[in-house]
Structure 1
């Protein structure tokens, strides 16, 4: 669920109400539960919040995500060749369906 909230915020700044509406609809949880998830994301640095009148506007804080990306980067060598091979096979299949030869 928190990943979904980050996906929503990656599209741009949203109010807590906007986030709650989508997450409640998709996961069937209450607005206070969504608020708790937003709080956890904020407290752990993945989201930032600013007040606009009585509204709270949330946005992704990219710094911790960059750290995660750097950490995962150490492991990319394990799956990148497999994904490259898959892309080659998909392209080959598309050519065969069109009747092209290599």
Structure 2
């Protein structure tokens, strides 16, 4: 599993997650929103959708001609785990200073 921050570090994946946070959207709608603003092809958008899906962040229903993408419920726990780890390190930062 890839760190949540790594998944979100790419602006296209971040934007896809941001759009899907408002609800499910058709693949064509997502592609139109991304290609117009980021200058990437539909194939490029598909690549980022596949990465998000392989990491368990998004899923879809429908068939190849009409796919509706949505965020999975696991996305929030993935983010929480990585944020909790950073918070843990932050709270114990004085233990690492000077070592």
- Regarding TM over 0.5, the answer is yes
**What value does the CA root-mean-square deviation take over the aligned residues?**
2.1
TM-score, normalisation: structure 2? 0.69
Partner in structure 2 of residue 3 of structure 1: 14
CA distance in 2, matches of 1:53, 1:23: 19
Q: Does 1:73 align with 2:81?
A: no
Instruction: Identify which of 51, 68, 71 aligns with 1:40.
Output: 51
How many residues in Structure 1 have an aligned counterpart in Structure 2? 79
Structure 1: where are the runs of 5+ without partners?
Answer: 79-102
| Bigger RCO of structures 1 and 2 (CA < 8 A, at least 6 apart) | 2
TM-score, normalisation: structure 1? 0.67
Instruction: Identify which of 5, 15, 20 aligns with 2:31.
Output: 20
